[in-house]
């Protein structure tokens, strides 16, 4: 079996476990008043698990294959690929998750977007910075103000200086 199918099989297992958790265990502890809401905290994980299962099955069944085998990953030549970029992005994701609460959403997300695009090869700072700032602020505004879910926008010491 090709490397892409092995990866799809592993992802299928992860998506099935994630879907089981989303469908059967996440909603048990909901308060009674939240059970009447049209969107529950498990709605997005349910959608993600279904999409992940569909995508994994498409790869496992070979439905995405063309007659040409362009772009197939050769596991015997993994060193020919950009493993450095992939490892740096994974490290950046872990660092982002660790800094999100202490540094605040706005600073950590903007930094993640700028550094991630830099790692992937973007060098147009006049494009990267405004896009990262705008995307971060829009996401924060939608989650904070529209959905009403509090996300710490800035580090504690800045919030205490500004907020009193």
Determine what percent of the chain is predicted with pLDDT higher than 70.
88
State residue 153's pLDDT score.
Answer: 78
Residue pair 120/72 in contact by the 8 Å Cβ criterion? no
Handedness of CA 94, 121, 142, 46 (dihedral sign): negative
Q: What is the pLDDT of residues 26-77, one digit of tens each?
A: 777 777 777 777 777 778 889 999 999 999 999 888 887 755 556 666 667 7
Q: What is the pLDDT of residues 88-108, one digit of tens each?
A: 999 999 999 998 888 888 999
Range 130-150 average pLDDT: 89
Two tokens at 96?
A: 């982002």
Q: C-alpha angle 94/26/46, rounded to 5°?
A: 75
Q: Using the predicted structure, report yes or no on whether residue 142 has a pLDDT greater than 80.
A: yes
Residue entry with tokens 């903007």? 110
Residue pair 15/52 in contact by the 8 Å Cβ criterion? yes
Q: Is 104 left (phi over 0), alpha (psi -120 to 50) or beta?
A: left
Q: CA 56 to CA 51: how far, in whole Å? A: 9
């Amino acid at each position: 079996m090709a490397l892409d199918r092995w990866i799809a099989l592993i992802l299928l297992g992860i998506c099935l476990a994630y879907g089981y958790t989303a469908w059967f265990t996440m909603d048990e502890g909901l308060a009674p008043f939240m059970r009447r809401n049209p969107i529950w905290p498990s709605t997005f994980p349910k959608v993600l698990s279904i999409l992940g299962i569909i995508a994994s099955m498409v790869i496992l069944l070979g439905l995405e294959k063309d007659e040409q085998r362009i772009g197939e990953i050769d596991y015997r030549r993994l060193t020919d690929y950009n493993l450095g970029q992939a490892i740096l992005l994974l490290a950046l994701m872990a660092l982002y998750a660790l800094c999100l609460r202490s540094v605040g959403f706005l600073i950590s997300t903007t930094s993640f977007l700028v550094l991630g695009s830099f790692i992937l090869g973007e060098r147009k700072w006049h494009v990267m910075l405004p896009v990262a700032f705008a995307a971060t602020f829009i996401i924060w505004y939608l989650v904070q103000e529209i959905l009403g879910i509090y996300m710490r926008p800035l580090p504690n010491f800045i919030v205490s200086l500004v907020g009193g």
